């Protein structure tokens, strides 16, 4: 386990709250300390930690891996930041990008030609975990003269059919 400053602060605050709560049960300090020491890890791991995971949108981040991209499309959002920051795709041809990411899932609309433009490739990254997340993560790769020029990360609102 990694002990970080926020983790220690949360445990200390939780201990203090449990100490004052246990003082309402028994006025003896040694009993209150004992109850607090026993309850602090239990309350943290079985109450507070699950709530933190439900309501925060933190997720693991991974380095880009073409095999994982292809085999687990629902977890592509874990590789998105590395893909954007490393400029892995910038300067690659359409063939090279297609080899790395697979065929594009859809083309973006271009108002100039009034059609879907094959120079704007889109890929679905999946849905980030979180209780109130209603957006689907996507990336758009823009090509100019068959060379990848830019990568844009955006979100689409999820729509459910009734």
Surface-to-core class of residue 123, CB atoms within 10 Å of its CB (0-12 exposed, 13-18 middle, 19+ buried):
buried
CATH code, domain with 144: 3.30.1450.10
pLDDT(12) > 90: yes
* 30/97 same-domain check: no
* 102/130 same-domain check: yes
Q: pTM value?
A: 0.66
Domain of residue 81, residue span: 66-157
What CA–CA distance (Å, rounded) separates 142 from 107?
A: 10
Buried b (16+ CB within 10 A) or exposed e, 71-81: eeeebbbbbbe
User: For residues 153 and 58, which has the higher predicted lDDT (pLDDT)?
Assistant: 153
Taken as a whole, the chain contains a residue count of: 162
* 97/122 same-domain check: yes
Tens digit of each residue's pLDDT (9 = 90 or more) over 106-121: 888 877 888 888 899 9
Domains: count for the chain: 2
Tens digit of each residue's pLDDT (9 = 90 or more) over 14-44: 999 999 999 998 889 999 999 999 999 999 9
């Amino acid at each position: 386990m990694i002990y970080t400053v926020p983790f220690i602060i949360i445990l200390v605050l939780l201990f203090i709250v449990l100490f004052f709560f246990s003082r309402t049960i028994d006025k003896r300090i040694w009993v209150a300390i004992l109850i607090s020491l026993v309850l602090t890890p239990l309350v943290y791991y079985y109450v507070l930690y699950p709530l933190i995971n439900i309501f925060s949108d933190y997720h693991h981040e991974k380095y880009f891996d073409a095999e994982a991209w292809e085999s687990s499309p629902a977890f592509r959002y874990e590789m998105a930041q590395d893909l954007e920051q490393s400029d892995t795709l910038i300067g690659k041809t359409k063939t090279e990008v297609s080899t790395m990411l697979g065929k594009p899932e859809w083309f973006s609309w271009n108002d100039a030609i009034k059609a879907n433009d094959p120079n704007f490739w889109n890929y679905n990254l999946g849905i980030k975990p979180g209780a109130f997340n209603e957006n689907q993560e996507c990336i758009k790769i823009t090509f100019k003269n068959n060379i990848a020029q830019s990568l844009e990360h955006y979100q689409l609102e999820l729509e459910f059919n009734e």
